[in-house]
Amino acid sequence: MKLVAGIDIGSLTAKIVILDSRQDENKAKVQQKYSFIKRVGYNPSGVAERLVNNAKEAVGVKEFAYIISTGYGRKLVQIADETITEITCHAKGAFFINPAIRTIIDIGGQDSKAISINGKGQVQDFEMNDKCSAGTGRFLEVMANALEVELSDFGDQALISKNPASISSTCTVFAESEIISRLNQGADRLDIIAGIHKTIANKIAALTARVGIQSSVALTGGVALNLGVKKMLENQLNVPIEVPPNPQMIGALGAALIASNHIDSK
């Protein structure tokens, strides 16, 4: 049994995936043994170390054969054998789940990415928004708090309105002020929620268009669990969007798969 680890340190959450990589009849077989997700907090390196130690205990090993870190804080993971960009890891993970995927949209806590891959799962092009929190999980968190709505309910409520409000501000600070002002003016809360989601979908659609939209399309990252963003993004792009199981784990899965390939090549 050769166990490898992929660790994805995002701006808001840290994820780990443990794979058992082995050779059987000259064909590599990979089996997921363990996965976990938790908030990052102020100490990404410490969180990564705890994730690894807990994973070792869960699967009953003293060490992992190879550890790859990825994500926003990948260079802070001192116990990693190698660091790989999240672009490469998301491509690897999404393609492993569904080899028909050609476009990946990843919406994380503080950034969003559109990735174009070929029939071998290799990155062909990508665009990234890491300068502004609009169109990210953090943007949704701030807006949900301002509207006093549970984040888990936010996406479903966005689909109720038939008349989404026009949100002119995409800056998180100004958008928050705008929606509070509109509430005070008597605007419908559900219309505002729908408008927020539509604004995010518009921003992500524009980002994706710059790499070219090829079917099939996968949506990854924690925001993929928000049904309102998914549905409105489908409307903007005019294509169906697939959400893989545990979409926030795709980067860590890709990192673990690359670690597995490293062991197999040895």
pLDDT band for 6, please (50, 70, 90 cuts).
very high
pLDDT at 24 over 60: no
pLDDT band for 26, please (50, 70, 90 cuts).
very low
CATH topology of domain 103-243: Nucleotidyltransferase; domain 5 (3.30.420)
pLDDT at 84: 97
pLDDT at 130: 64
Mean pLDDT within 112-120 = 95
Q: Which of 49-58, 101-110, 158-167, 174-183 has the lowest mean pLDDT?
A: 174-183
* 198 phi, psi to nearest 5 deg: -65, -40
Q: Structurally, what CATH architecture does the domain formed by 2-97+248-265 represent?
A: 2-Layer Sandwich (3.30)
pLDDT band for 23, please (50, 70, 90 cuts).
low
pLDDT at 132: 65
Give the distance from CA 167 to its chain's centroid.
24
Mean pLDDT within 140-146 = 89
34: exposed, middle or buried (Cβ count in 10 Å: 0-12, 13-18, 19+):
middle
- Which H/E stretch holds residue 174? helix 172-184
CA angle 20, 251, 255 (to 5 degrees): 45
Tokens 């489908």 sit at which residue? 234
Compare 1 and 99 and report the one with higher pLDDT.
99
Compare 132 and 91 and report the one with higher pLDDT.
91
Q: Say yes or no: do domains 2-97+248-265 and 103-243 share a fold.
A: yes
pLDDT at 171: 72
pLDDT band for 138, please (50, 70, 90 cuts).
confident
pLDDT at 7: 97
pLDDT at 131: 63
Question: Any bridge partners for residue 241, and if so which?
Answer: 217
- The amino acid occupying position 178 is E
pLDDT band for 27, please (50, 70, 90 cuts).
very low
Tokens 């924690």 sit at which residue? 222
How far is the C-alpha of 51 from the C-alpha of 47, rounded, in Å? Answer: 6
Number of Cβ within a 10 Å radius of residue 145 = 12
pLDDT in tens, 161-213: 989 988 876 676 677 888 888 888 888 999 999 999 998 999 999 999 999 99
How far is the C-alpha of 33 from the C-alpha of 22, rounded, in Å? Answer: 13
**What share of the chain has pLDDT > 70, as a percent?**
92
How far is the C-alpha of 31 from the C-alpha of 137, rounded, in Å? Answer: 30
pLDDT at 133 over 70: no
- Which H/E stretch holds residue 139? helix 137-146
Mean pLDDT computed over every residue of the chain:
90
In the chain, domain spans: 2-97+248-265, 103-243
pLDDT at 29: 67
**What share of the chain has pLDDT > 90, as a percent?**
66
